[in-house]
Amino acid sequence: MIMRLSNWLTVVSLSLMIIFPVHASEDSEINSAELAEMIAAGNAPAIVDTRSTFEYEAGHIPGAIHIPFWTTLWNSDKIVASGHDPVVVYCAHGPRAYAAGMMLGLKGFPNVVYLNGHMSGWSKAKLPETVGSEP
């Protein structure tokens, strides 16, 4: 049952992306260096990794919580952010993050910010990564 619901939500979100393409504007993106500085300074926003469990455990941005994009609608309560606090969302290259961001908007998170370059850009810049299931 959960798998069927998961598949259905995936199809619906991808269909919505085709019908209503989501493109991050410059003001809704953050670059890797800026996010790394915020993490190092201890004032990072909520960070959500929307990749698979395997990808997340292999290496993720320090402090990022794991919410696979297809579970965003029912797991958004794991995000500690209020009001207009920014929520940084990323995946490997972009599509899953944009689908999750759309769902977060529906769940009342008005300030979704996408990581420019996503995890591939973060890794390419050789920025710190956390391995395992803990943020």
pLDDT confidence of residue 83: 78
pLDDT confidence of residue 100: 96
Count of domains in the chain?
1
Q: How many CA atoms lie within 13 A of 15 on its CB side?
A: 6
- Look up the CATH number of the domain holding residue 21: 3.40.250.10
Mean pLDDT by 10 residues, the chain (135 residues): 55 52 60 98 97 98 97 94 92 95 93 97 98 96
- Which residues span the domain enclosing 116? 2-124
pLDDT confidence of residue 38: 98
Whole-prediction pTM:
0.81
Q: How many residues does the chain have?
A: 135
pLDDT confidence of residue 23: 44
The verdict on residue 7 lying in a domain is yes
pLDDT confidence of residue 28: 92
